[in-house]
Structure 1
Amino acid sequence: MDSFDLILIAFAVFFLAGVVKGVVGMGMPTISLGLMTVFVGVDKAIVLILWPTFLTNLWQAFSGGHLKILLNRLWPFLGAAALTLALGTFILTRAPGGAADLILGVLMIAYAVPMLFGLRLHISPAWQMPAGVFLGAVNGVFSGLTGSYTVPGVMYLQALGFNRDQLIQAMGLLFLSATIVLALALGGFGILDTADALQSLVLCVPALCGVYVGQHLRGRLSDEGFRRVFLGAILCLGIYLVPLGAVRLLG
C-alpha cells in the first residue's frame, strides 16, 4: 500500500469487515478480500487479510465457554477442512480468476433464500461425522481458492442445531484453523511476501475495532433476530460475490 488514499481505503474496508464479523461471526475474509482485490489484486489481497483474520478468529474461537464440547464434536470436520485447504490454494495458482467466487456466491444465495423463508436444515447424529468429513473437505478447497471459509462449513455448523453462542464459537474454530493453514500454504506456494505480511499486521487495528463495535450490536439482537441477520449476511455476501466473480472471470 504505497499511497495515503489506499491506506485510508484499507482501514475503512477492514473496519467494515470487522463490524460484520462482530455481528454475525463471519464475513471478514469475503468482504475484505473482495473489496481489496479491486485495489491491489487478488494475490496481495489474500495476504493482507491474514493477520486481521487470524487475530479476530483467535478471539472468536476462544471466547464463549464451549471450547471443549465443540472440539470433541467437530474435530473430524475441522481436520478435513484443514487438510484440503492447500489443494484449494494450489488450484488458485492455476485456475481462472473469478470462477471460485462465482460458484461460492451462487451457493450462498441458494442456501440463504430458502432458509430465510423458513426452511430448517438438520443432520441426524448418525450422519454428523461422515457429513462433517465430506463437507469439511469441500470447505477446505473453497477456502484455499477464495480466502473465504464460509461454504459449506457454516451451513453444516448451523444444521447441527447449535445455539447462537455455540455457533459463533464453532465458526471461530473453523476460521482459525483455516487461516493458519492458508498462511502456511501461501508461504509454500510463494505468494506470501514479508512486506505485505507486515501491512496485514497493521490492518488488525481497524479490524479489531470493527469486531468490538459489531459484538455490541449483536448483543442487542434476539435469537430470531440474530438468525435473520445471519442469513441475510450470507445472502448479501452471495449477491456481492456473483457479479464480482463474473467480472473477474470475463475480464
Structure 2
Amino acid sequence: MHDAISYLLFLVGTFLAAGVVKGVTGMGLPTVAMGLLGTVMPPASAAAILVIPSFVTNVWQLFYGPSVAQLIRRFWPMMLGIILGTVGGAALLVRVDPVWSGCWLGVALMAYAGYALIAPAFSVPAALERRLSPLVGLITGVVTGATGVFVMPAVPYLGSLNMSREELVQALGLSFTTSTIALAAGLFAHGAFQVSQLGTSAMAIVPALIGMWAGQYVRMRISPKRFRQCFLFFLIALGLELASRPLL
C-alpha cells in the first residue's frame, strides 16, 4: 500500500513538473517526464505512460493558432519521416537492455540541453528545406523511437527556418503530436504498450494540465531566460545520472 501511494505521488509530481516546464517554455513535457520516469522504470514503460498526456497537451498547442493546414502541407514529408523512424526505432526502446536504453536517453538529454545552452544561430535556406525535412524527420523519429525524447534534431531545425513565433510554436506542436502518435504505434507494434497502461497514462493528464497552467502563471512573473537556464542545467544533471548507470 505504501509503495503504491509513493508511486502515485511520484507520477503526479513528475507530470506537474513536466507541465510547469511546458507552460513556461512551450516545450519539454516529454523530455522532463521521460527523464524522471526513466530513473525508476524502463524507458519503454515510461514512454507508454507519457503517450496520452503528451498527446493532449501537444494537440492543444498545435491548434492554438490559424496555420494548421498550411503547416501540414509544408511539413508532411518531415512528419512522414518521423512516423517511419519512430515506428522502426521503437524496437530499440523495447528490445535493448533498459540500462543501455536509459543511457542513450541520458545522452539525448545532454545533447539537447547542451545545444540549447550554446544556442548557435543558424538559418536553413528555403531551397534546402524540401531536401532536409524528410531526413530531419527520419533522424528525429529514430531518436524518438529509441529514447522516447522528441526534440533532436527537430527542434533546432524548425527554429532555423525563420518562421514567426506563432508558426514555430504550432510547428513544434505538429512535430510533437506526430511523434507521440508514432511512438504509441511503435510501442504497440512491438508489444510494449498495454491496455492496462491507458488508465495510468490518462490519469497523468490532470497534473500535466495543472502544471501547464501553473507554468503559464509563473512565466508572467519571472525571467523565462533564467528559468530556461535552470531547466537545461537540470536536464544535463539528469542526463549524466542516466548515462552513467552502465558504469556503476
TM above 0.5, one fold?
A: yes
Aligned to 1:16: 17
- Cα distance in 1, alignment partners of residues 7 and 106 from structure 2: 26
Give unpaired runs (5+ residues) of structure 1.
Answer: none
Quick one: structure 1 residues 21 and 187, their matched pair in 2 at CA, closer, same or farther if it must change by over 3 Å?
Answer: same
TM-score, normalized by length of structure 1?
0.87
**Inter-partner Cα distance in structure 1 for 2:214 and 2:231:** 20
- 2:117 paired with 1:113: yes
In 2: Cα distance, 1:207 partner to 1:232 partner:
21
**1:89-238 equivalences in 2 (<5 Å):** 89-95=90-96, 96-115=100-119, 119-218=120-219, 228=225, 232=229, 235-236=232-233, 238=235
Equivalent pair of 2:23/2:219 in contact (CA under 8 Å): yes
8 Å Cα contact 2:110/2:240 also seen in 1:
no
CA distance in 1, matches of 2:175, 2:234: 18
Give the residue type in structure 2 aligned to 1:16: A
TM-score (norm 2): 0.88
The answer on whether the counterparts of 1:107 and 1:238 sit within 8 Å (CA) in structure 2 is: no
Q: Which amino acid aligns with 1:232?
A: Q
Alpha-carbon distance in structure 1 between the residues aligned to 2:228 and 2:73:
26
Q: CA deviation at 1:175?
A: 0.7
Correspondence for 2:242? 245
CA-based RMSD: 2.3
Matched residue count: 244
Contact 1:21–1:214 (8 Å) recurs in 2: yes
- How far apart in 2 are the matches of 1:220 and 1:126? 41
Gap change, CA 1:46 and 1:209, over 3 Å in 2: same
With over 3 angstroms needed to count, the CA separation of the structure-2 counterparts of 1:128 and 1:237, relative to structure 1, is farther
CA separation of 1:38/1:152 partners in 2, compared to 1, >3 Å: closer, same or farther? same
CA contact 2:34–2:43 (8 Å) conserved in 1:
yes
Report Cα offsets for 1:126-161 as digits up to 9, x if no partner. 011211111111000000111110000000110012
Q: Which amino acid aligns with 2:185?
A: L
> Percent identity between the aligned chains?
33
Offset of 1:41 from its aligned partner? 3.1
More displaced stretch, 122-131 vs 87-96: 87-96
Higher mean Cα deviation, 172-181 or 205-214? 205-214
